Structure 1
Amino acid sequence: MAVSKKSASKKKASKKSAVKKILIKKKAAKKVLKKNEYPKVNWREYFPEPVIGVDEVGRGCLAGPVYAAAVIFKSDALSEDVTDSKLISEERREELAELILKEHHVGIGFASVEEIDELNILQASLLAMKRAVEALGVTSGHVLIDGNMKIPKLAGSFEQTTIVKGDLRAPPISAASIVAKVTRDRIMKELSGKYPQYGFEAHKGYSTAIHMESIQAHGPCDVHRKSFSGVKEFVPGYVADPTPTKSE
């Protein structure tokens, strides 16, 4: 029996709909799995007080400093509104950063491009976080750090706890990630006025295709990280390492 075009079209549409429902269910299941994989942390259980959330931003960039923020919540204000800064729109990040600075105790620190090239990005990131905590002006407390590395040589009497995906799981860390992100983004926008050919205002120094093309076309500028792959190859006088490390 010949199947009419109308009937075949209905079957096709029905099949597409079923596939779509399966994909939606799978996507929802992944979200649940991710949520369960990184459950919220009851940050109020940590002692001694105050509890300090710390996070850094800009570690993976090819240009600009790495920034960090440290936040002590003075109240529950905004504790339910904050999350990983990467999951929030730029406009909302700006709003939240202003509110966090107004409602809570915030310290900000950074490590320069020169320090990044001299120390390496990991040590420079830890230095920025150390400076952020020190900027709070407190000498004791419990520091919650996003990631899996404690802050070395932190002056004072501090306990330290590392939390993987802490910017998703602990509100003080989330707040720190937002302030650090907004602060660094503003710096990169300012630098775009001095170095317009690189488009820092758009990509904030990350290794986008446009950024990579601009480095190739114009060479690195003063705020590029000369020790980073993607930049060092275009530094005048660069000689490739004949035995590159695995990380390269």
Structure 2
Amino acid sequence: MSREKTVSETMIAFLKDSGYLKYLIDKEGQEEFGVLDQFLKKIKNFEVGYLDPSLNNFMREITLEIESGEQGKLEFDIEQGPDMIKVMTIHGAKGLEFKHVFLVNMVDKRFPTIERGDPIELPEDMIKDIKPKGDVHLQEERRICYVAMTRAKKELYFTSAEDYGLARRKKLSRFMVEMGYKDKPAVSGGRTSKYPEYGEEVRPPNIPVKNSYQLPDHFSYSQLAQIRLYFKDSRSGQGRVFVR
């Protein structure tokens, strides 16, 4: 059979003849189907990229990958599943959306981070692009924060802590302050300061979301409401923002 059929056809025939495909259908194994789908995509890429996409050559390719230390990691559709908590960087979340998003470490010097100089400084005459005026690092961090907030479709949570195990208490992120959440000064005699809004549910005003907008130079509560913190939800029609 392997000599007459392609690798993908052989794979599908094996799944049917062995009864494994029926087993997954009866079990409703969504995660297993996801693995098979990714494996079939790998086979399809092999068939397109090789002059002789035979089963023997495919097995040699897989063997070489295993011997080189390849663990066979498959790329999943993060938005579709499997149903679990997804921990990722903001850069890794670009282009994705989730019903519930938690932004952690919303404290000073963690977000925004401390600007670090370039390892290698390039001469000015070698740089063709015009550098923007102002604090470039802060502008970029604010843009990243904006990207993170707009990943949420229904609920957005901000989290922070005063004590991260260091000598000094952490101040609230300046981005949170720009959005209207004030960092109350510490009370003498210990780390007992609280954020007034800490743990409260915040409901943005009912302002329609615009499809196009310009990234602000700073965050304010009114701008925050306009750029998407009033989230649309197909069932409830309104999203929510939480501060923890």
Give TM class, smaller chain.
Answer: under 0.3
TM-score by length of 2: 0.21
Higher helix share: 1
Higher strand share: 1
TM-score by length of 1: 0.21
Higher Rg of the two aligned structures = 2
Higher relative contact order (CA 8 A, sep 6+): 1
